[in-house]
């Protein structure tokens, strides 16, 4: 099993290309099930989750071809992938596929809208909370779907004539449920209004792609989305937006180590709140023609309190990384997690490096320490794993992170990107 070994102490200097967003690419790929034409997606990252979803879509009948592979200085750059699903050959998404990645559950929306039925296993993915599917079920039921749960599967059927437009207000903001209901509603009869919708950039990206395919969606990026159903969707060509979580992660790595790095191909507007927190911690962040520049030279890391919230708030997917940064601050900081109830599993691993963190409910108190010391640590989920890398970049000696398959799910060639900027990071295969 692969491990990542980091020797701490080096500043970061150079350019880090930001990949396409995993959290945008996955729903965009799933949207290909809504049409019998070809959907072409550019800037698709090469990640384990993307490869898993390719297998799942193939199981449903999608024909998938990849081009645009380029190599430059050892770095694999974005791919263009063509998805053509002329016929849905299977409306079942089996447990052995869905259990490996939660987002694969989202195929339920397009399958139900296009074929009138879907049998989808209850989802898997990172163990960072229960993340129930109630909101998905209630949203699809509002469109007229009949839904039953049997033997670990959700069986959904549309009424005769297809799904029916309706107004539904989510009791809680959910990015995944917003994706699913929006996709399902594109082929529903009549108009659908989604209240308390997620406002994340990835939701806007999906809406833009669906509109390019012929959907009629307005309001994406606000809390109210309106979808006027159409009889069919066509193919389109769409570029996946930059990964704001990867952007924030590398910005925090620079803030942690010191140095000067251009994050290339990203957009600061995608994560204003997170970048502002990193500025308050002592880093300078400025826009450039190709992305953003992050640098911290001389000054220390200041303590900053953050509370995770749905967009435009501080992203839960950057909470672990920010905690890693705060372990070396000059005082006491607090991080409150409001999205997932079990997303502090990285605390005990950071403590192995010498961090001082205490938990009280959903709030972590971090007392900054003057130094961290390398140790063997274990990744517990995708974002927690990269927080250990950030801490390891400044820890004295070697830090070895095991279970790096979590990293491979969401960070494209992380060790190569960091190494090119002066870090000592290598993948070790047993």
Query: Each residue of 93-130: pLDDT tens digit?
Result: 998 888 888 888 999 999 999 999 999 998 754 443 44
How far is the C-alpha of 258 from the C-alpha of 260, rounded, in Å? Answer: 7
In words, the CATH class of domain 22-239 is alpha beta
Sign of torsion, CA 170 175 176 181? positive
**Is the pLDDT higher at 226 or at 298?**
226
Domain boundaries, the chain: 2-19+242-429, 22-239
**Is the pLDDT higher at 278 or at 385?**
278
pLDDT reading at 364 higher than 80: yes
| Percent of the chain at pLDDT exceeding 90 | 83
Catalytic residues: 126
For residue 297, the model assigns a pLDDT of 82
Structure tokens at 131: 């993340």
pLDDT reading at 414 higher than 70: yes
CA distances from 192 to 114, 187, 195, 203 (A): 16, 10, 10, 16
Tell me the pLDDT tens digit for each residue of 32-42. 999 999 999 99
pLDDT reading at 71 higher than 90: no
For residue 340, the model assigns a pLDDT of 76
CB atoms under 10 Å from CB of 285, counted, come to: 18
**Is the pLDDT higher at 397 or at 133?**
397
User: Is 183:110 a contact under the CB 8 Å cutoff?
Assistant: yes
Could you list the residues known to form a binding site for phosphoenolpyruvate, using ranges. 22-23
Could you list the residues known to form a binding site for UDP-N-acetyl-alpha-D-glucosamine, using ranges. 102, 131-135, 172-175, 317, 339
pLDDT reading at 367 higher than 80: yes
**Is the pLDDT higher at 29 or at 385?**
29
For residue 266, the model assigns a pLDDT of 97
Tell me the pLDDT tens digit for each residue of 240-260. 999 999 999 999 999 999 999
For residue 75, the model assigns a pLDDT of 44
Tell me the pLDDT tens digit for each residue of 132-178. 688 999 999 999 999 998 888 999 999 999 999 999 999 999 999 99
Looking at residues 264-278, what average pLDDT do you find? Answer: 97
Structure tokens at 254: 């620079």
Tell me the pLDDT tens digit for each residue of 211-234. 999 999 999 999 999 999 999 999
Q: Is the CATH number of domain 2-19+242-429 3.10.105.10?
A: no
Looking at residues 37-63, what average pLDDT do you find? Answer: 95
For residue 383, the model assigns a pLDDT of 74
Tell me the pLDDT tens digit for each residue of 299-344. 899 999 999 999 999 999 999 999 999 999 999 999 999 987 667 8
Q: Please, which pLDDT band fits residue 70 given cuts at 50, 70 and 90?
A: very low
CATH topology identical between 2-19+242-429 and 22-239: yes
For 44-70, letters b (16+ CB in 10 Å) and e give bbbbbbbebbbebbebbebebeeeeee
How far is the C-alpha of 104 from the C-alpha of 303, rounded, in Å? Answer: 38
For residue 102, the model assigns a pLDDT of 81
Average pLDDT, the chain: 93
For residue 77, the model assigns a pLDDT of 61
Q: Please, which pLDDT band fits residue 72 given cuts at 50, 70 and 90?
A: very low
Looking at residues 20-24, what average pLDDT do you find? Answer: 96
CA distances from 101 to 51, 76, 96, 382 (A): 11, 23, 10, 12
pLDDT reading at 74 higher than 70: no
pLDDT reading at 290 higher than 50: yes
**Is the pLDDT higher at 126 or at 430?**
430
pLDDT reading at 76 higher than 90: no
As a whole number of Å, the CA-based R_g of the chain is: 22
**Is the pLDDT higher at 251 or at 381?**
251
Q: Which residues pair with 67 in a beta bridge?
A: 80
Kindly provide the residue ranges of all beta strands, DSSP E only, lying in 1-47, ordered along the sequence. Answer: 2-7, 12-17, 38-44
Tell me the pLDDT tens digit for each residue of 185-203. 999 999 999 999 999 999 9
């Amino acid at each position: 099993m692969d491990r990542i070994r980091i020797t701490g102490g080096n500043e970061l200097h150079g350019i880090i290309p930001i990949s396409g967003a995993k959290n945008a690419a996955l729903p965009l790929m799933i949207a290909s099930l809504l049409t019998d034409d070809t959907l072409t997606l550019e800037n698709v990252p090469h990640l384990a989750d993307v490869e898993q979803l390719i297998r799942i879509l193939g199981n449903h009948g999608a024909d998938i071809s990849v081009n645009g592979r380029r190599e430059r200085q050892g770095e694999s750059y974005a791919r263009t992938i063509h998805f053509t699903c002329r016929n849905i050959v299977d409306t079942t998404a089996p447990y052995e596929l869905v259990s490996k990645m939660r987002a694969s559950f989202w195929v339920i929306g397009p399958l139900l809208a296009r074929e009138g039925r879907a049998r989808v296993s209850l989802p898997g993915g990172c163990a960072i909370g229960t993340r129930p599917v109630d909101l998905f079920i209630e949203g699809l039921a509002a469109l007229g779907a009949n839904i039953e749960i049997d033997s670990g599967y959700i069986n959904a059927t549309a009424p005769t004539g297809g799904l029916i437009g309706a107004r539904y207000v989510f009791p809680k903001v959910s990015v995944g449920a917003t994706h699913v209901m929006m996709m399902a509603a594109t082929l529903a009869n009549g108009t659908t209004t989604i209240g308390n919708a997620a406002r994340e950039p990835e939701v806007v990206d999906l809406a833009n792609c669906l509109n390019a395919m012929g959907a009629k969606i307005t309001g994406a990026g606000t809390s109210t989305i309106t979808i006027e159903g159409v009889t069919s969707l066509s193919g389109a060509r769409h570029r996946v937006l930059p990964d704001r979580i990867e952007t924030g992660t590398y910005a925090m790595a620079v803030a942690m180590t010191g140095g000067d790095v251009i994050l290339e191909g990203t957009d600061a507007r995608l994560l204003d709140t997170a970048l502002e927190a990193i500025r308050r911690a002592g880093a300078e962040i400025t826009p450039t023609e190709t992305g953003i520049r992050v640098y911290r030279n001389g000054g220390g890391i200041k303590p900053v309190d953050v509370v995770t919230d749905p967009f435009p708030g501080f992203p839960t997917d950057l909470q672990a990384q920010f905690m890693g940064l705060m372990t070396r601050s000059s005082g006491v900081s607090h991080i409150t997690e409001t999205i997932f109830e079990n997303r502090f599993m990285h605390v005990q691993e950071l403590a192995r490096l010498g961090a001082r963190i205490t938990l009280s409910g959903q709030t972590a108190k971090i007392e900054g320490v003057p130094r961290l010391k390398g140790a063997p640590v274990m990744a517990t989920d995708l974002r927690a794993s990269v927080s250990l890398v950030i801490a390891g970049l400044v820890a004295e000696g070697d830090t070895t992170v095991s279970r790096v398959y979590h990293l491979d799910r969401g960070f494209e060639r992380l060790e190569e990107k960091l190494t090119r900027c002066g870090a000592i990071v290598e993948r070790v295969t047993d």
